[in-house]
């Protein structure tokens, strides 16, 4: 499944109501439902297959990679051999990494895990597998990708200069790294305010297996990443776009940028984060990473091999934000607690798109092997039938996927060419999974398009219905999971046409956003929600099928005799960079932020309203702690930064402007960004009459003073704030 599927979701989130948006509607087959008069299913004797830990040197994902390459000589971009980034367990990680780098492969030693991550070309896969020092190879999961009024809703308009509040925190001296597909590198959104100087400091095109670029001239000579997508351009613009001659500005418009076009391989992501950490350390700057992709295949507890290794990389000054996912209206999950040793969780899987990728895992007292069987069920007749051994051997692949790292029993299943052995329009795949009494069995479909559990299956005796819970699968326990809420349901494009989407309810949770909780030990995932519906940001004109007549386009901008574009998209892919950019501004104030402190700050400051309820008191599996509040979070960061002043970070959070001004209806709030020996406030009329004055001594960082205007008559006033080295005057109308 390519990213165009997700772009369709982003553009229309299924379809704009009462509009004709050509090419933007998803051609999704109708969901299957059980017939009103269900015939009792015939008895089918399925022999249960016991699936123990995969004893082979390679897992099913790596074997699938080798098989595809051998069968089709798969190439990409017309010339490049397919690659996969793999996890290699071995006795000496450093020695193996040196050997593989000597082969011309890219390999990184993960010493504490006793493993190497290596990007392997198909023609070297067999040679790698044959190495005696290699004990195990794991292939990568294929991860899938997941401004109108967004700034207003996050209160981000209160963090940089603009209506409401003015502040110098714009992500300066902070790195925003985006790992994605669909970059237009030279879009004005990624230049400095002069429209000339690029802000992209590092460019590493992993998708096309190109070398890392570090010089400004080399980066400026590139145009786009060759993916034919626009996702990354839009995401990066939300997080950190520059408002060059437009009103569309990202949340951290002065941040340094690192762009990594990705092939979305699981372990490739680990290599990317390892590099970003090394680069950030080399320049002495904090970094926040945006990753708007994921998969339902995996442990859903952050404790798989990938997650454990990633958590070791993240720490002070390095934060990772991941989209919670856009599958909230799909039934990709099912679970059941087994009541006996012979009890089974039986689910119906709709394979309308012709293939299925399923993952089953159990919360159990022991690591006993799981049992699984397959059959077919006709939703029209209620009849079941067996599958032959020939079909099972030809079209089904299954193995234990992660049990060696998590200790939980699990099974990974791939089903190919479903139409070869079933009528995908009337039949569903029945999967029966068993273990010991008391075990809680969970099942997931990898993503929409790879199967979906029937939501009404429990209407047939013995079956378990699918649901949309437990659908957050974090890349580690330090990965901040971001949900989405609706900020807009109507827009007018640059051609003057107006569109509406009635299923978006401004202020309410987006129907497509994934829900927690995670499996096992509780973690606040999702952490918080941010605006994700109908968000305007930069668009790549190199997107396949791009047309200047596309209805979602909002603005066209000219620079150096070339045109660049801004457009509308929706999804948690849009809400996540909102948070990424906000955290970049917080890091400018407090560079030592880590995942734990960000979590604590959000838990203390998130907005709770009539839509969220009081979720700061009791975390919610849909909303997290509520809606992110950039301004209140900034205040908390300033407080924490001031408390550690003297540890060497003081100079980083000092700013040229010592105050942040926040205008509300009947008052101005003055937030001090740094310590000041004194501060003076004076409120005057236009003719110079002083109506209010105040002097403060020894002002603390993060101290907030409120100037109340509610008692004054209507008119025009001037508010002047003076500190030792700074004076600012603002005019406002009462």
Same domain as 439, residue 370? yes
Please indicate, yes or no, if residue 6 is contained in any of the structural domains.
Answer: no
What's the rounded mean pLDDT across residues 192-208?
Answer: 90
d(CA 638, CA 702): 5
State what percent of residues in the chain have pLDDT above 90: 56
Same domain as 286, residue 426? no
CATH code for the domain in which residue 100 is found: 3.30.70
CATH code for the domain in which residue 409 is found: 2.60.120
**Two tokens at 146?**
């997941």
Q: Which residues pair with 371 in a beta bridge?
A: 50, 434
- What's the pLDDT at 73? 53
**Two tokens at 592?**
């030592």
DSSP 716: E
Please indicate, yes or no, if residue 2 is contained in any of the structural domains.
Answer: no
Please compute Rg for the chain using Cα positions. 27
- Residue with the bigger pLDDT between 68 and 635: it is 635
- What's the pLDDT at 656? 66
Strand ranges of the sheet holding 535-539, from the earlier edge strand across to the other edge: 535-539, 562-569, 553-559
Q: Which residues of 265-276 are buried (b: 16+ CB within 10 A; e: fewer)?
A: bbbbbbbbbbbb
What's the rounded mean pLDDT across residues 458-469?
Answer: 95
Same domain as 380, residue 285? no
Same domain as 380, residue 284? no
**Two tokens at 252?**
């951290």
What is the DSSP annotation of 389-420?
HHHHHHHEEEE--SHHHH-S-EEEEEE--GGG
- C-beta of residue 412 within 8 angstroms of C-beta of residue 355: no
Same domain as 301, residue 165? yes
Q: Which three-class secondary structure string do you get for 105-160?
A: CEEEEEHHHCEEEEEEEHHHHHHHHCCCCEEEEECCCECEECCCCHHHHHCHHHCE
Domain of residue 71: give its range.
60-138
- What's the pLDDT at 161? 34
Same domain as 292, residue 155? yes
Please indicate, yes or no, if residue 11 is contained in any of the structural domains.
Answer: no
If you search the block for the tokens 């501060």, which residue do you land on?
679
d(CA 394, CA 380): 27
Write down which residue in 428, 459, 490 finishes a domain.
459
3-class DSSP assignment, residue 358: strand
pLDDT in tens, 159-183: 543 334 466 789 999 999 999 999 9
Has residue 63 got a pLDDT over 90?
no
Q: Which residues of 429-453 are buried (b: 16+ CB within 10 A; e: fewer)?
A: bbbbbbbbeebbbbbbbbbbbbbbb
pLDDT in tens, 372-424: 999 999 999 999 999 999 999 999 988 887 766 778 899 999 999 999 999 99
Q: How confident is the model at residue 14 (pLDDT cuts 50, 70, 90)?
A: very low
* Domains contained in the chain, number: 4
- Residue with the bigger pLDDT between 619 and 635: it is 619
pLDDT in tens, 248-259: 889 999 999 999
Same domain as 483, residue 428? no
pTM assigned to the model: 0.86
How many CA atoms lie within 13 Å of 347's alpha carbon, on the beta-carbon side?
29
Same domain as 597, residue 536? yes
Alpha helices in 347-477, H assignment, sequence order:
389-395, 403-406
Q: Which residues pair with 348 in a beta bridge?
A: 430
CATH code for the domain in which residue 680 is found: 2.60.40.3080
Please indicate, yes or no, if residue 275 is contained in any of the structural domains.
Answer: yes
Please indicate, yes or no, if residue 554 is contained in any of the structural domains.
Answer: yes
Helix axes 595-605, 572-589, angle to 10 degrees: 100
- Residue with the bigger pLDDT between 319 and 3: it is 319
């Amino acid at each position: 499944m390519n990213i165009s599927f997700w772009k369709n979701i982003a553009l229309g989130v299924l379809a704009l109501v009462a509009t004709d948006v050509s090419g933007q509607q998803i051609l999704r087959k109708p969901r299957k439902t059980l017939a009103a008069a269900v015939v009792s299913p015939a008895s089918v004797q399925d022999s249960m297959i016991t699936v123990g830990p995969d004893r082979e040197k390679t897992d099913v994902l790596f074997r699938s990679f080798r098989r595809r390459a051998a069968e089709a000589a798969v190439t990409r971009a017309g010339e490049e051999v397919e690659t996969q980034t793999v996890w290699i367990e071995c006795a000496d990680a450093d020695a193996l990494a040196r050997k593989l780098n000597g082969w011309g492969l890219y390999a990184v030693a993960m010493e504490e895990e006793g493993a190497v991550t290596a990007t392997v070309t198909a023609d070297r896969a067999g040679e790698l597998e044959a190495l005696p020092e290699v004990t195990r190879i794991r292939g990568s999961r294929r991860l899938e990708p997941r401004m109108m009024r967004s700034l207003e809703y996050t209160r981000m308009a209160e963090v940089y200069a603009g209506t409401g509040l003015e502040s110098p925190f714009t992500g300066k001296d902070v790195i925003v790294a985006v790992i994605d597909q669909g970059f237009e590198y030279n879009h004005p959104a990624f230049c400095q305010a002069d429209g000339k100087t690029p802000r992209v400091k590092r460019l590493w095109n992993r998708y096309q297996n190109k070398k890392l670029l570090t010089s400004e001239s080399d980066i400026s000579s590139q145009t786009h990443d060759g993916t034919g997508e626009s996702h990354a351009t839009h995401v990066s613009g939300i997080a950190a776009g520059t408002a060059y001659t437009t009103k569309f500005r990202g949340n951290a418009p002065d941040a340094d940028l690192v762009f990594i076009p990705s092939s979305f391989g699981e372990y490739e992501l680990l290599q990317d984060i390892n590099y970003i950490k090394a680069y950030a350390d080399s320049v002495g700057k904090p970094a926040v990473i945006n990753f708007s992709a994921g998969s339902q295949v995996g442990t859903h507890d952050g404790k798989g091999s990938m997650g454990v290794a990633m958590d070791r990389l993240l720490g002070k000054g390095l934060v990772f934000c991941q989209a919670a996912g856009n599958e909230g209206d799909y039934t990709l999950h099912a679970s059941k607690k087994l009541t006996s040793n012979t009890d089974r969780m039986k689910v119906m899987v709709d394979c309308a798109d012709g293939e299925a990728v399923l993952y089953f895992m159990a919360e159990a007292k022991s690591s006993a092997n799981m049992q699984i069987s397959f059959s077919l069920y006709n939703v029209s007749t209620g009849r079941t039938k067996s599958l032959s051994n020939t079909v099972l051997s030809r079209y089904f692949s299954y193995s234990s996927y992660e049990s060696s790292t998590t200790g939980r029993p699990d099974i990974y299943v791939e089903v190919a060419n479903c139409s070869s052995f079933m009528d995908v329009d009337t039949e569903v795949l029945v999967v029966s999974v068993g273990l010991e009494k008391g075990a809680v069995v969970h099942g997931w479909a990898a993503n929409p398009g790879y199967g979906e559990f029937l939501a009404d299956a429990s209407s047939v005796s013995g079956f378990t219905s699918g649901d949309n819970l437990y659908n957050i699968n974090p890349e580690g326990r330090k990965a901040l999971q971001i949900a989405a809420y609706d900020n807009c349901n109507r827009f007018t494009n640059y051609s003057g046409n107006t569109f509406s989407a009635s299923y978006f309810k401004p202020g309410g949770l987006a129907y497509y956003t994934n829900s927690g909780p995670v499996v096992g030990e509780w973690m606040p995932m999702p952490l918080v929600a941010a605006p994700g519906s109908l968000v305007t940001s930069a668009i790549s004109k190199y997107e396949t099928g791009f047309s200047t007549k596309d209805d979602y386009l909002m603005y066209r901008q000219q620079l150096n005799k070339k045109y660049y574009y801004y457009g509308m998209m929706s999804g948690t892919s849009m809400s996540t960079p909102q948070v990424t950019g906000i955290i970049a501004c917080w890091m400018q104030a407090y560079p030592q932020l880590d995942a734990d402190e960000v979590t604590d700050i959000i838990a203390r400051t998130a907005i709770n309203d009539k839509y969220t309820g009081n979720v700061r008191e009791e975390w919610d599996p849909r909303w997290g702690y509520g809606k992110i509040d950039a301004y209140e979070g900034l205040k908390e960061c300033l407080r924490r930064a001031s408390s550690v002043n003297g540890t060497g970070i003081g100079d980083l959070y000092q700013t040229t402007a010592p105050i942040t001004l926040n205008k509300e209806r009947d008052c101005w709030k003055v937030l001090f960004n740094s310590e000041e020996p004194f501060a003076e406030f004076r409120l005057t009329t236009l003719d110079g009459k002083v109506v209010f004055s105040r002097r403060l001594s020894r002002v603390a960082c993060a101290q907030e003073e409120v100037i109340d205007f509610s008692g004054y008559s209507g008119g025009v006033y001037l508010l002047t704030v003076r500190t030792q080295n700074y004076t600012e005057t603002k005019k406002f109308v009462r």
